[in-house]
């Protein structure tokens, strides 16, 4: 008869295998679109757990554990609902013995018979276990003011504040330029981001997030104006990561860039190997979470808003540039 720990290990192995299979199929455009949409709502979970949630509950919008729903939100899981399995880290410790060291010399302390003395010590280690979460649709109770998907209001003022928040999160300065073929770029030599002037608000924000992702993840060392190292990742991986991060962050704030993003992502992801995809997904998840959290810390009022529809021309900061250019 298997012990509980054996059964747990088997289940974690099954979930991991399911995750591997999901990653292999993920970059089909429709599935990847759905995955990134889920990531925009479930940004506090790792890319692996987002994928596991999505595979079991494609319509998941906000998930939490049974106790969290009850204590933090005043909601109960409906009778008969089945949990969504994820892989949860468990921090544990065990008591063991280690050699006793002399505080002055750092050498082992010897006992009367010449044997090394030992002392008890707790050693921490990390393991994993299956855990269950439930989607908000599986719960009932106190009304939620927001389901974790914060929608950007559709006026120019919110664009300016969102732009300012992104500007403060960028690791390098941002400059507008005369329109070029590429809508923006991160310059390794100048250590700055260039954005084309005259674009819509949505295109400007998406491009800014895309180039910020490049600046945060793919910057190369420069010495005397010359790049001193080759990129660690190839161009395909870098572009898939940057555009996917831009899509997730924009989607989280109610800005739909799918018409542009998915053609771009599909063109660059073709032919990528499994390990490349897994590495990119982990990177996308972590960086998108970081940017979303950074924006929300600066603009907590964006927790309630309305979806941005078709945007107008950018104003304020860009208008000043446009006026000077004309």
Q: What is the pLDDT of residues 43-55, one digit of tens each?
A: 677 777 877 887 7
Q: Tens-of-pLDDT digits for all 326 residues of the chain?
A: 566 556 656 655 675 566 556 656 666 656 677 777 766 766 677 777 877 887 788 667 678 899 988 887 889 999 999 999 999 888 878 888 888 888 888 788 887 877 888 888 887 877 888 999 998 889 999 876 543 323 223 333 478 888 999 999 999 999 999 987 678 999 888 899 999 998 888 889 999 999 999 999 998 888 877 777 767 887 788 888 998 898 888 888 878 777 777 777 776 776 677 677 777 888 888 888 889 889 888 887 654 333 333 333 333 444 434 344 44
Ranges of each domain in the chain: 1-142, 156-325
H, E, C per residue of 249-270: HHHHCCCCCHHHHHHHHHHHHC
- What letter would DSSP give residue 116? B
| Partners of 85 in beta bridges | 132
Hey, what are 120's tokens? 């008890």
Q: How far is CA 134 from CA 21, 82, 272, in A?
A: 23, 8, 33
Token look-up 């260039």 returns 194
| DSSP-assigned letters across all residues of 271-298 | T--HHHHHHHHHHHHHHHHHHHHHHHHH
Q: What is the pLDDT of residues 271-314, one digit of tens each?
A: 677 677 777 888 888 888 889 889 888 887 654 333 333 333 33
Strand 192-196, strand 174-177: pairing:
parallel
Strand 118-135, strand 184-187: pairing:
unpaired
Are the C-beta atoms of 195 and 318 separated by less than 8 Å? no
| Partners of 175 in beta bridges | 194
Inter-residue long-range contacts of 174-180, CB under 8 Å, 24+ positions, other chains counted:
174/208, 176/318, 176/321, 178/325
């Amino acid at each position: 008869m298997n012990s509980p720990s054996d059964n747990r290990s088997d289940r974690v192995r099954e979930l991991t295998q399911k995750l591997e299979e999901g990653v292999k199929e993920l970059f089909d455009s429709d599935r990847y679109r759905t995955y990134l949409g889920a990531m925009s709502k479930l940004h506090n979970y790792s890319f692996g757990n987002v994928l596991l949630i999505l595979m079991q509950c494609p319509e998941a919008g906000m998930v939490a554990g049974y106790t969290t729903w009850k204590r933090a939100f005043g909601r109960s899981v409906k009778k008969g609902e089945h949990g969504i399995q994820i892989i949860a880290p468990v921090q544990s410790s065990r008591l063991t013995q280690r050699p006793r060291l002399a505080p002055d010399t750092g050498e082992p302390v010897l006992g009367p018979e010449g044997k090394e003395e030992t002392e008890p010590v707790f050693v921490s280690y990390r393991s994993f276990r299956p855990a269950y979460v439930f989607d908000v649709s599986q719960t009932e109770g106190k009304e939620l003011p927001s389901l974790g998907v914060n929608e950007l209001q559709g006026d120019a003022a919110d664009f300016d504040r969102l732009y300012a928040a992104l500007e403060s999160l960028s690791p390098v300065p941002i400059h507008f330029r005369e329109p070029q073929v590429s809508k923006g770029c991160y310059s390794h030599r100048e250590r700055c981001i260039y954005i084309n002037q005259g674009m819509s608000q949505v295109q400007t924000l998406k491009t800014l997030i895309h180039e910020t992702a490049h600046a945060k993840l793919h910057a190369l060392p420069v010495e005397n104006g010359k790049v001193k190292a080759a990129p660690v990742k190839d161009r395909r991986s870098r572009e898939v990561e940057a555009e996917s991060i831009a899509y997730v962050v924009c989607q989280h704030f109610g800005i739909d860039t799918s018409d542009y993003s998915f053609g771009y992502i599909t063109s660059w992801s073709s032919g990528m190997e499994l390990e490349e995809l897994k590495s990119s997904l982990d990177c996308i998840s972590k960086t998108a979470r970081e940017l979303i959290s950074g924006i929300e810390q600066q603009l907590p009022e964006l927790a309630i808003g309305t979806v941005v529809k078709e945007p107008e021309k950018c104003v304020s900061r860009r208008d000043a540039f446009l006026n000077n250019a004309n």
